[in-house]
Structure formats: C-alpha cells, structure tokens
Amino acid sequence: MTESWPVDGTEQGTQERSGVHQPWRTAIAAVELLIALGLAVTAWWAWGRGIVPIYLPGPGGATDVVTRSIGSWLATAIAAGGVGALLVLDAIRQLVLAIRVRDRG
C-alpha cells in the first residue's frame, strides 16, 4: 500500500525552513547596494563620454554647436543604470526578507 503525502508536498514529520527572517540576507542587500552604486557611477561616466559637443564656425563669426551622440557609450550607460535599478529592487526584497517576522501559525 502506498503512503499518502500531505497537501503541502512536504514529507510527514519534517518542516522546511521558511525563507523569511534570515539576517544573513542583510549582507547580501548591502553588497547589492554597493554594486548598484558602482553601476550608477559607471552609467554617469559612460553617459558623459557618449555626448560630444562639436563647435563649428557659423555665419558672421558666431559659433554653432552640434552635439554628437555615440551610441555604444549611451547604450552602456542605459544598461548599467537598468542593472543597477534591478539590484536596488532586489536589495529591497532581501531587506524585507531579512527583517520580516515569520508567522508562527
């Protein structure tokens, strides 16, 4: 005869540890925030490299300014900003899981 399993899928007599209230997640969140800060600085730096002003002589001695956008630098800045934003969101999630109290019910 086969044994029946409980509805939640765990073996009888064992209880899996919940993923909440694990203080070590705070360290992971701190590392993710530091990496996100580094990516924000990288995005700012790459954006500055992607915008190049070119000064041309204009009519009557005036100077015309043309702005050249370099796509590879701008794409790097956008990618670094996007990955940094995702890391900030995950760091918030890790902090919530680190400090949230587990339901004893």
Write out pLDDT tens, residues 10-38: 655 555 555 567 788 999 999 999 999 99
pTM of the model as a whole: 0.70
5 within a domain of the structure (yes/no): no
Q: Tell me, what's the pLDDT at 42?
A: 98
66 within a domain of the structure (yes/no): yes
Q: Tell me the pLDDT tens digit for each residue of 49-88.
A: 999 999 999 888 899 999 999 999 999 999 999 999 999 9
13 within a domain of the structure (yes/no): no
76 within a domain of the structure (yes/no): yes
57 within a domain of the structure (yes/no): yes
Domain, as residue range, for 87: 25-99
Question: Total structural domains in the chain?
Answer: 1
- Written as six digits, the tokens of 49 are 């490299």
Tallying the residues shown for the chain, one arrives at: 105
82 within a domain of the structure (yes/no): yes
